[in-house]
Amino acid sequence: MNVVQHSEEKLCRALVSKLPALAKLYGDYTEGERRFLEGGLHPGKRGSLFQPITLHSDSDWIVAHPEEPQDFEAFYRDPHRKTPDASHNTIYIQTIGSFGDEGLQTDQYVEWLRDYCQAFFCGLSVKLLPAVSVSETGCSFRVNSSSHNLQILTGDLLRYLRKRKPKDAFCIVGITMIDLYPKDSWNFVFGQASLSDGMGVFSFARYDDHFYSRNYAGRLKKKLQPRQGDFSVFQGYYTPPITSTLLLRSCKIITHEIGHMFGIKHCQWMNCIMQGSNHLEESDRRPLDLCAICLHKLQVAVGFKIADRYKALLCWMEDDESQLSEAEGASAHHSAVRFHKPTEAFNESRLWLRSCLDRLEIS
């Protein structure tokens, strides 16, 4: 295992630009907030809340996909970067296909994701669009020749999302429990985005613990060759059970991908949700939240108070009663139904958030 270490001087340059206008942005933080962010200049050191990146194999993202690290100045000066404004300040989530056969609990799962994004991107509105079936998208699909599971074509889904994107959208993201592929020559893809259009589509299928096992329930029993346009094959198709681990992984991938919509590139500074990942084991190593440098990027784009954001995230994790979201369009009979929110897998993040808030309050 190798540890990616950057000098304090290099991390300081990545966090605080010497350009007067950008230095002023950093100066707008309170003294306590600046002290908290500067705790990220010593990742892994005693008392630091931030950790360095660890590389476990040559298949890890940083090794396999060399990229130029994006410091705050490069982020801010990116001419293609999009920032929410008064007319485009809503994140829309579009579910595609079934999210399970457990009725209201699967509806609640999607609303938990919405509520988590609302806390993560504190200050922006996050809304669910009415769910659509695979057939409504009119997308192409196939059976994967090696894993024998159904897959849907990302390009067709992005074209569908473009038509569905509301006028006040900062971005729209499609989520599905069905595996994806970007073109015939590829085996699969976790997701695909068009950052210039503020759109992306992502699958949670491979975040099921059993996806890579021979007993995976999503493998088609017969060697079916479904005809294009015959969407009956998706009726009753397997979706993974809602577990704490699946919820944790889903929160990670949706916030990581929406983070890219703000122009935040893969993080190479320290352990961070914005690190790239090539495989599930690497994705599981990523923390649930941002490093100090990427937090500065998102804060400048959105404008939240750091402590308010951490409080919102902690509230989401500690909301044991898990009342249904009061999002627009929730039907009246849902309001009387509650489900246990399975946040056991979030315990490490919960403790980290409390430590962050303690540090900010002391400051």
Query: Could you tell me the two tokens for 18?
Result: 């010497």
Strand residue runs (E) in 104-160 = 125-128, 141-143, 150-153
What is the chain's Cα-based Rg?
21
Question: What's the DSSP call for residue 195?
Answer: G
Instruction: Give catalytic residue positions.
Output: 257
21 CB-side CA count, 13 A: 4
> Residue 107 and residue 123: Cα distance in Å, rounded?
24
> Residue 303 and residue 321: Cα distance in Å, rounded?
30
Which residue has 């056969």 as its token pair?
Answer: 101
Q: What is the dihedral of CA 38, 42, 45, 50, to 10 degrees?
A: 70
> Residue 31 and residue 33: Cα distance in Å, rounded?
6
Phi first, then psi: what are they for 191, rounded to 5°?
-175, 170
Contacts of 185 (CB under 8 A, 6+ apart): none
Question: What's the DSSP call for residue 154?
Answer: H
Question: What's the DSSP call for residue 176?
Answer: E
